[in-house]
Amino acid sequence: MMSHSQELQSATTDELRQSEMQITEDIAGFSGPCPSCGGREFATFQPAAFRVPIYACRNCRLHITRQPAVADGAEPDQVYEASYHTDYEKNAEKKTRTSSYRLCVVENAIEPGRLLDIGCSVGCFLRAAVARGWDAHGVDPSKYCVESCITHGLHARIGDMRHLDFPDESFDLINLRHVLEHDWELSDCVREMKRVLKTGGLLLVEVPSVDCWQVRLRGARYAKFWSPAHYHYYWFSRRALQNVMSQAGFEHVPLPLYGKMMSCGGFSDTLGFLLWRTHKLMRHWLYLSPLQVQAWHKT
């Protein structure tokens, strides 16, 4: 008889065994190896909501789609139009409190300094940061979001994570929550963030996780997770994200107690909160799973 964990793993494996791909050239518009590990063997499946397949690297389990299933010709800033962000404004107070909690934990590792929130939306994280004494700045591709931030007295500008209009080593902390999966050029994005991050600074990353129990149990049937409305190119395993970050010179840094303040469903949907710190001589990398809350001491 299989254990519970074996059953969960089997559910995902069954989904991935529907068919196989041997070379990534078969993925429309993708002519290279897996951007995380360089692997060239893929399984493929197609959630009901998608018009195009999703490919899963058999080595690191990075999940890829080259053509997010959105309206033809739509750009990310059009996908996340004003109507999308009004939901954030309705819950701004709650999201600001949650952001303040996250910063409280981060401040165990770093004192308030200069902060950049990439994909800042309507500025909930920025509001919390300013209230806690940070010199906070935001970047977002949405004109609506940037105007909303400015209306609330926040520093924000239109931009994206591949083209950050800031000098080298400008920030002590960069917040990257559910943004990395929206850009095809992973390595370019991470290198650009490393460029503007100060030596010893922190990079916080949160991405959708294929390791969460709901994905393992429900696979392609988990419609909410695979929804094309999210405009995702990637869904990460823990290993895949670690590969991407380590290739850019980031390493794991332990941080005291961190936990996500959200519903059970959302709690399981994400790979969670990762904290990355850059050093020129010695680098450290941190991962804290949203499915477990632990306290770590930095030595």
CATH number at residue 106: 3.40.50.150
Q: Are the beta carbons of 92 and 122 closer than 8 angstroms?
A: yes
**Residues sharing a CB contact under 8 Å with residue 72, sequence separation 6 or more, in sequence order:** none
How confident is the model at residue 228, as a pLDDT?
Answer: 65
How confident is the model at residue 248, as a pLDDT?
Answer: 84
Q: Where are the alpha helices (DSSP H) in 172-237?
A: 186-196, 213-218, 223-226
Domain count of the fold of the chain: 1
pTM above 0.85, yes or no: no
The position carrying tokens 């940061």 is 129
Length of the chain: 299
- Closest to 41 in 3D by CA, of 68, 60, 28, 54: 60
- Number of alpha carbons in the 13 Å side-chain half-sphere of residue 166: 29
Predicted confidence (pLDDT) at residue 45 exceeds the cutoff of 70 = yes
Q: Does residue 150 lie in a domain region?
A: yes
How confident is the model at residue 71, as a pLDDT?
Answer: 41
- Number of alpha carbons in the 13 Å side-chain half-sphere of residue 36: 23
Q: Does residue 296 lie in a domain region?
A: no
- Number of alpha carbons in the 13 Å side-chain half-sphere of residue 125: 24
Predicted confidence (pLDDT) at residue 24 exceeds the cutoff of 80 = no
- Closest to 178 in 3D by CA, of 140, 137, 144: 140
Q: Is 123 left (phi over 0), alpha (psi -120 to 50) or beta?
A: left
Q: Does residue 262 lie in a domain region?
A: yes
Q: Does residue 130 lie in a domain region?
A: yes
pLDDT in tens, 117-155: 999 988 999 999 999 999 999 999 888 889 989 999 999
Q: Does residue 294 lie in a domain region?
A: no
The total of other beta-carbon atoms located within 10 Å of residue 166's CB is 17
Q: Does residue 121 lie in a domain region?
A: yes
Least reliable range by pLDDT among 65-69, 166-170, 171-175: 65-69
Domain extent, residue 241, equals 4-288
Predicted confidence (pLDDT) at residue 196 exceeds the cutoff of 80 = yes
